[in-house]
Amino acid sequence: MMVFLIIVAVITPWFMPDAFTYILGLTCLFMILTVSWDLMVGYTGQVNLGHTVFVGIGAYTTALLQVPSRFQGTFLSPLAGMPEISIFATIFLGGIAAGIVGFIIGVITLRLRGWYFALVTAVLPLVFIETTVIWREIFGGEEGFSVGLEKALAPASTGKYYIALIIMLISVAIMFTIVNSRIGLKFKAIRDDLDLAEAVGIDTVKYKVLAFVISSFFAGIAGAAIVHYRVTVSPDLYDVPLMLLIILAAVIGGLGTIFGPLIGGLIIYLTKYWWLKGAMATIAATGLPINDDIILYAILVVIAILAPEGLWIKAKKLAKR
């Protein structure tokens, strides 16, 4: 089944317009975000409402390493003369930076129980967005900045798509391996019963932090890759709308399944940035006071009623019947 889906993904650009191929590549990177969020929330039960912080950290890390001239004339001027680094090296460093910040935040906050961790993480994107405004000369303010066309993943949309697909497949394969290992079993034990997990000797704080670091690392990888895909970086990668889209996709697909968030990410991203773009023009002509977000959350309500466990688990149950 997986081999068939990969073959379909490989040959899709041969039959699709260039604009669709471009969107599909971004969809692949968005799917990394949904799966990495699910690794934390679906497998350890810790609700992270600040996942976009790590997307933004990865994005700005690679962007600044590729355009070190942004540091010129600031308190970080010595960094302006750093040597050129390859694109893929800075994408990896973006993931490392996000993982380090995730470790620091996790050590401080993951001792909290219940909704306290969620509340702390919910505030983080707002804090990091403010840094892009305060240090406008470095981060470019609300508009961000471009890394230049020569720093794109590939010159053409098809090339960008294939690189994004490879990054997605490698990232998801690693996360799938982790959650199906002994480490993944400990994640699930923490999710199912935290007190019982502690009683049998699992260091719950250690494994929650580990899950958070892994989740943050892959969010940073995706954020960095997005920058080189669209050749710009801006605060929208920190922002709340992206966080809501990630949550929507993961919940619709089915939490704690890996494949569910993959499917949810594919459906939701293409729905918002492809299908609804055309549909909204028709809807606007009718004069109805409605936008694409209303439609997306209406879809969430319908699926929550018909398939509360998510589309992937619902599909598996129907297949068994």
Which of 8-17, 83-92, 195-204 is predicted least confidently?
8-17
> What is the CB neighbour count within 10 angstroms for residue 67?
17
User: What is the model's pLDDT at position 288?
Assistant: 65
Tell me what percent of the residues of the chain surpass a pLDDT of 70.
Answer: 95
**What is the C-alpha separation between 62 and 250, in angstroms, rounded?**
26
**Residue 53: pLDDT over 90:** yes
User: What is the model's pLDDT at position 74?
Assistant: 78
Q: Which residues pair with 146 in a beta bridge?
A: 232
| Mean pLDDT across the chain | 88
> Which of 1.10.3470, 3.30.160, 3.10.450, 1.10.10 would CATH assign to domain 2-320?
1.10.3470
**What is the C-alpha separation between 109 and 129, in angstroms, rounded?**
20
**What is the C-alpha separation between 258 and 303, in angstroms, rounded?**
18
Instruction: Tell which wins on pLDDT, 318 or 49.
Output: 49
Quick one: which H or E segment has residue 179?
helix 157-179
**Residue 262: pLDDT over 80:** yes
Q: Domain spans of the chain? A: 2-320
**Residue 284: pLDDT over 70:** no
pLDDT tier, 3 (very low <50, low <70, confident <90, very high otherwise): confident
**What is the C-alpha separation between 87 and 195, in angstroms, rounded?**
44
Quick one: which H or E segment has residue 145?
strand 145-146
pLDDT tier, 318 (very low <50, low <70, confident <90, very high otherwise): confident
Instruction: Tell me the per-residue pLDDT of 174-233, one tens digit each, with 9 for 90 and over.
Output: 999 999 999 999 999 999 988 899 898 899 999 999 999 999 999 999 999 999 999 999
* pTM of the predicted protein model: 0.93
pLDDT tier, 286 (very low <50, low <70, confident <90, very high otherwise): low
Q: What is the mean pLDDT of residues 258-283?
A: 83
Q: Using alpha carbons, select from 218, 100, 124 the residue that is nearest to residue 169.
A: 218
User: What is the model's pLDDT at position 166?
Assistant: 96
Q: What is the mean pLDDT of residues 38-64?
A: 94
**Residue 83: pLDDT over 90:** no
